A and B are shown apart, each in its own frame.
Chain A
Amino acid sequence: MNQMTPSEENMNMENMALQQSQSEKIRAIIKRYYIYFVLALVVAVFSVVRLDEVEWFARGHFLNPNNIINLLRIAVPIMTVAGAFTFLMIAEYIDLSIGSALSLAGVVFAWMILNGFSFLPAFLVTMFVGLIMGTINGFLVIRLNITPVIATLITLSLYKGIALLIVPAGFSGIKSIGEQKMPAWINNYAREDVIFGLPMAFFLAIVVIVVLVVAQRKTLLGKYSAAIGGNATAAELSGINRIKVVWILYIIVAVSAALAGIARASFMSMGDPLTGDGMELWVIIAVMLGGTRFSGGEGNVEKTVIAALIIIVITVGMLTVIPAYWQTFALGAVLLIAVVINHQLVGDT
């Protein structure tokens, strides 16, 4: 048995715990803040490189106000969806239908505006459609017990199909059709300057992002998602209602996709049923770069949101440097790199 006195033993243990905490602390700091370093790095690279020396470039310095506003405008809706998506992944579930949900929402919104409704009713109805889509997703996954991947691939197809069917034949989207003109004020939400040249859509999305970040850190929803994803049995034993929590998460994801869809329809003055195609890819890359674990239990909305911004910055930056036909390859490569990074960060058992 130990020869130390009880107090010595205590001190020893505390020292060990503290030391463990120290090296653990450094790792934790890296894990927590690396994403900001990466963001700074990426912006720096694109700013410093004299892009007008590159053959295809013609837009001037990267950090000009126009570019930044443009970037933020594109990025923020996706950041919102990525943030909501993080919750779901933390609980170890997935939703691949977000792109179609965005498209359908945009179509519904545009349709209503085109047919004479004012902004607020159109907005609310579209958000309600988002709610319904989330409910359907949740129903398939949690009640019918269909694997999340397959369930949300089915709804991906369904929502896309519905969006396509709403658009009249021969048109690429809901827009001015013959006599019926799309009112110009549809742009206001996503284009009209409110402050600093940024539109209402931007600020609303920022609010949602902030809410999501806070929710994950400080509310039951955030904690329970992590509990369900980390150890579903322990969560169940502690009285957590998995069905309720996960269903709510699916609804939140779909609703944020709907919000993003409204912003896009407003910006483009049209409801494009295919505009959201492939968004799930971006979101997944963002989620991975943000250090979310595939097997659930761990993840951070803030980091995912920043990661989404980084992805957009990189892509927009790339757009100015590489030809369009390199993009798919680049995106795929970025995904695989993100997979490797994620593996290093939160490497699975």
Chain B
Amino acid sequence: MASTENVLEIRDLVKDFPGVRAVDNVSFDIKRNTVHCLVGENGAGKTTLIKILTGACERTSGKTLLNGEEFEPHGPRDARQRGVSTLYQELNVVDTLTVEDNLTLGLEDTTVGFIRKTDKINDMISVMNDIEPSIHPKQKVSTLSVAQKQIVEIAKAAASGSEVIIMDEPTAAITEGEIERLFSIIQNLREQNVTVIYISHRLDEIFEIGDYVTVLRDGRHIDTKPLSEVNGRSELIKMMIGRTIFEEYTPKDEAEQEVILEVNNLTNKKLRDISFNVHKGEIVGFYGLVGAGKTELARAIYGADQAEGEILFKGKKLGASPDKAIAAGIALVPEERRTQGLFTILNIRNNVPVMNMGKIAKNGFISSSEEKKAANEYVEKLSIATDSIEKQISKLSGGNQQKIVLSKCLFADADLLMLDEPTRGVDVGAKSEIYSIIRQLAEEGRSITIFSSELPEIMNICDTIHLLFDGHLKASLKNGEDVDSEEILHIVTGGE
């Protein structure tokens, strides 16, 4: 087989994490000078695959070939030097430098340390200006919009000789007009000997810009084919979902209870006029893919971020900070447990009671027996694997860490529990346990809102489901037998 046709070949790639196989014997080819799209639900393995490809993560086994030769970069820098660049959502530009400086960063021609303005630099600038004439090379990058910063990164990658540019959700933070511009840039790149790997949830975009598409599901390669041979969104969606059977959801037959949370016209940088209600004892799910605004919504309600609009909790206006929300009876399990949810250098005993210290203290004095009791109680309740509550959080596995975060919030005795990606990085057994805890809380009369990008999770336990896309609440439905998961995926990928 002529390997000059393929710029990248992936053979039997496997990546195992403790307890889960994230990439399961994936094999496919990426043809040179094409726009090759990668789709799949969250947890399908796209990000891990890319991390392995760029050396940010070590593979368990398998081969990757670049231009027919073995390609196992030591890290993103090495990958970039060998021709494979990645554009992440966290932009890797230096805001305080000019566009020109960013383009040439690390690539300067020098005489005795003095930076020379050579033809190479002028070439790079003209590449940049061809793509986007409105960007002045002497502009400071901090004055550019997100779309423009992206373009600077693309120009840098292209002008420094990258053969493959990987774009991870590039349209999540830019406007429609800017998306059009990005697409014409991508098309130009293709004509200039660059292959683009395009990862996105927005299926309309895939059809607009892509030549080929690869679908992953549960770490496995489902199919790779030219987009011209794909029968519209529904075929892609079918491949993405497969024939996953959701756990039985039993609808509640009780009469609707009182409203506990009322959100009206919530708007901020990301959110667009969102309104909904949560009832007592109800489990409400918010489903959407990357960039939909789930975390922003959770944080806005919690008071962690600012937003306009009205939030009424138990009939009263909610204060605009987390401590006020907690005092009113809301608890949040944040999206990133290590940076937002846990005190990793402290131990289990310290972490568990933090959101409700009053419960283990009398007159401001902590009772160590109560503290230990609380920690032990939750270690047992959530089956957290540890031989001591004195164990440092950083030493626990991801799944157990998530259980600690959950314990913190359960300990807060909240009337409304908000969970942002509650089972991310948690094994199947623990997931089940968490779901039954959630159901039980609802039976006790507490309310739960779950913000998740895992459809089975949402379908499993939520009574009401709201669908988010690009900061909008697009649709709401009651969970039940006649829910069409394909229709749901259609909406959260931008369909109407």
Contact = CB atoms under 8 A, between A and B. Distances in A.
B139 A231 contact: no
Nearest to A227: B94
A176 interface: no
B133 A220 contact: no
B108 A220 contact: yes
A218 interface: yes
Nearest to A215: B113
A331 interface: no
Interface string A288-324: 0000010011100000000000000000000000000
A22 B488 CA distance: 47
B157 to A, nearest CB: 11
Interface string B52-79: 0000000000000000000000001100
Given A230-B95, A233-B92, A234-B93, A220 B110 contact: yes
Contacts of B430: none
A248 to B, nearest CB: 11
Nearest to B97: A226
Interface of B: 76-77, 80-81, 92-97, 101, 105-108, 110, 113-115, 133-136, 139, 143, 176-177, 180
Nearest to B105: A238
Contact of B134 (A14, A231, A296): A14
Given A13-B134, A17-B136, A223-B97, A24 B143 contact: yes
A193 interface: no
Nearest to A297: B96
Interface in A6-28: 10, 13-14, 16-17, 20-21, 24
A189 to B, nearest CB: 28
A21, A221, A231: most-surrounded residue (chain B CB, <10 A)? A231
Given A14-B133, A234-B94, A297-B95, A220 B139 contact: no
B96 A229 contact: yes
B139 A223 contact: no
Nearest to A295: B96
Given A221-B113, A226-B96, A231-B95, 18 more contacts: A17-B136, A21-B139, A215-B113, A226-B94, A226-B97, A227-B94, A230-B97, A231-B92, A231-B94, A234-B93, A235-B94, A237-B76, A238-B105, A238-B107, A240-B105, A297-B96, A297-B97, A298-B96
A52 interface: no
Contacts of B80: 237
A236 B94 contact: no
A219 interface: yes
A210 to B, nearest CB: 14
Contacts of B94: 226-227, 230-231, 234-235, 297
Residue among A1, A24, A223 with max Cβ neighbours from chain B (10 Å): A223
A92 to B, nearest CB: 11
A239 B177 contact: no
A237 B92 contact: yes
Interface of A: 1-2, 10, 13-14, 16-17, 20-21, 24, 215, 218-221, 223, 226-227, 229-231, 233-240, 293, 296-298
16 contacts: A2-B177, A10-B133, A17-B139, A21-B136, A24-B143, A223-B108, A227-B97, A227-B101, A230-B96, A231-B93, A233-B92, A237-B77, A237-B92, A239-B77, A297-B95, A297-B96
B92 A234 contact: yes
Given A234-B105, A239-B106, A220 B93 contact: no
Given A2-B177, A235-B105, A16 B134 contact: yes
Contacts of A296: 96
A220 B133 CA distance: 27
What 5 A-B pairs come out closest when comparing CB atoms? A238-B106, A297-B96, A230-B96, A230-B94, A239-B106
B206 to A, nearest CB: 19
Contacts of A1: 176, 180
A239 B96 CA distance: 18
Contacts of A235: 94, 105
A309 B101 CA distance: 30
A220 B115 contact: yes
A230 B96 CA distance: 6
Contacts of B97: 223, 226-227, 230, 297
Contacts of A237: 76-77, 80, 92
A240 B107 CA distance: 10
A293 B142 CA distance: 14
A226 B105 CA distance: 11
Contacts of B108: 220, 223
B86 to A, nearest CB: 9
Given A17-B135, A235-B105, A219 B96 contact: no
Contacts of B180: 1
Nearest to B95: A230
A280 B246 CA distance: 66
A219 B105 CA distance: 12
Nearest to A20: B143
A223 B115 contact: yes
A220 B94 CA distance: 15
Contacts of B177: 2
Contacts of A218: 114-115
A219 B134 contact: no
Contacts of A10: 133-134
A249 to B, nearest CB: 13
A227 B134 CA distance: 24
A205 B247 CA distance: 77
Contacts of B106: 238-240
Nearest to A236: B77
Contacts of A234: 92-94, 105
A219 B93 contact: no
Contacts of B93: 231, 234
B44 to A, nearest CB: 26
B59 to A, nearest CB: 21
B77 A219 contact: no
A231 B113 CA distance: 21
| Most chain A beta-carbon neighbours within 10 Å: one of B80, B96, B135 | B96
Contacts of B113: 215, 219-221
A305 B298 CA distance: 48
A239 B77 CA distance: 7
A13 B175 CA distance: 14
A16 B132 CA distance: 13
A144 B81 CA distance: 29
A20 B92 CA distance: 23
Given A219-B115, A233-B92, A237-B76, A227 B133 contact: no
B156 to A, nearest CB: 9
A229 B106 CA distance: 15
